Structure formats: structure tokens, C-alpha cells
């Protein structure tokens, strides 16, 4: 005698299972995007901190012997390019000595007085980008933002 029930699944069971899997994936996807955006913000913050530490070292070494009472006392410059998504450091001769990139959906913003550059003199004081002889500690603050993530603000030290 042949069994009354056959082994396997029905089409309706398969459709219900696929619908449940689709609902779960749809609910998890925004969390994944948020997590990725937060990771991008963290990476940009790490790149900026690394740039500041390298620029600080360059400013303290002061290999070109730039004096703090010079016409332009800038020893190290950190340049943030939100179009190319790069952070670079140049010395007092405007030679790039270090560069790194951050993710495309991320943006690093400095105070208006600093524009997109952080200038340091030989005593690691922040200088105003418009008038480099003026010490401007507001240039130590930054904001990093990415799509689908909260902005991060901080101060370079």
C-alpha cells in the first residue's frame, strides 16, 4: 500500500517562506546602511586624526626652520578636499608629504575661518587661513558627516 502523504513542500509553503525571508531582509537593510555610514565616519575621523598627528610632528621638527614671527609662520598645512575625498599634509615649501583618502559619502567640515585648511606653526598652534600670522584655536574643531549617520564633532589635540 502506497502512503497517503508524499514527502516535500507545497508551493504555498515555499511562497510563505520566501515572503518571510523578504520581510526580514527588508527590515535589516536600513540597519546595514546605517552601520556602513557610521564606519565611514569613523574612518574619516581616523584619517583626520592621523593627518593631525603627522602634521604636528612635522611642525615640531620644523625642518625648514620657519620662525613663528615670520611673514608666513606656517610649518605644516592639512588640506581637506571634500571633492576628491582626500586629506593631505604639506610642509612649509608646499610639498605634499602625506596623503590619504576617506569614503565618498563622507564629508569633513572645518570652521569658516579655516576654510578647508588647518595651518600649524612651529609650536603647533593653529593659524587662521586668511591671516596666517593670527593664532586661531577654532581651527582645531571639525565636523564629520555621512549619509544615513549622525554627524561627529571633535577637536584636534
Over residues 60-117, the pLDDT tens digits come to 998 889 887 778 899 999 999 999 999 999 999 999 999 999 999 999 999 988 889 9
pLDDT at residue 34, rounded to an integer? 82
Residue 51 belongs to what domain range? 11-155
Q: Domain total for the chain?
A: 1
CATH classification at residue 36: 3.55.40
4 in a structural domain = no
Task: List beta partners, residue 76.
Answer: 91, 120
Q: Is residue 50 part of a domain?
A: yes
The mean pLDDT of the chain is 89
Q: Residue 90 domain-assigned?
A: yes
Enter the pTM of the model.
0.80
Residue 115: its pLDDT value, please? Answer: 84
Tens of pLDDT along 16-34?
A: 999 999 999 888 877 778 8
Could you give the CA distance from residue 45 to residue 66 in angstroms, rounded to a whole number?
29
Report whether pLDDT(13) > 80. Answer: yes
Write out the three cell numbers for 126. 593653529
pLDDT of residue 148: 73
d(CA 109, CA 113): 11
Compute the distance between CA of residue 142 and CA of residue 45 in angstroms, rounded to an integer. 9
Contact (CB, 8 A) for 133 and 73? yes
Share of the chain above pLDDT 70, in %: 97
Does a structural domain hold residue 126? yes
Residue range 124-134: mean pLDDT, rounded: 87
Amino acid at each position: 500500500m502506497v502512503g497517503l502523504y508524499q514527502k516535500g513542500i507545497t508551493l504555498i509553503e515555499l511562497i510563505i517562506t520566501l515572503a518571510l525571508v523578504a520581510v526580514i531582509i527588508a527590515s535589516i537593510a536600513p540597519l546595514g546602511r546605517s552601520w556602513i555610514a557610521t564606519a565611514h565616519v569613523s574612518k574619516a575621523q581616523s584619517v583626520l586624526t592621523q593627518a593631525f598627528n603627522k602634521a604636528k610632528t612635522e611642525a615640531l621638527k620644523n625642518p625648514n626652520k620657519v620662525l613663528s614671527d615670520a611673514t608666513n609662520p606656517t610649518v605644516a598645512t592639512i588640506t581637506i578636499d571634500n571633492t576628491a575625498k582626500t586629506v593631505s599634509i604639506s610642509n612649509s615649501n608646499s610639498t605634499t608629504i602625506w596623503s590619504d583618502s576617506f569614503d565618498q559619502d563622507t564629508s569633513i567640515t572645518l570652521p569658516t575661518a579655516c576654510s578647508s585648511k588647518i595651518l600649524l606653526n612651529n609650536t603647533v598652534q593653529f593659524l587662521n587661513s586668511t591671516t596666517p600670522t593670527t593664532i586661531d584655536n577654532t581651527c582645531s574643531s571639525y565636523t564629520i558627516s555621512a549619509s544615513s549617520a549622525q554627524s561627529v564633532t571633535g577637536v584636534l589635540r
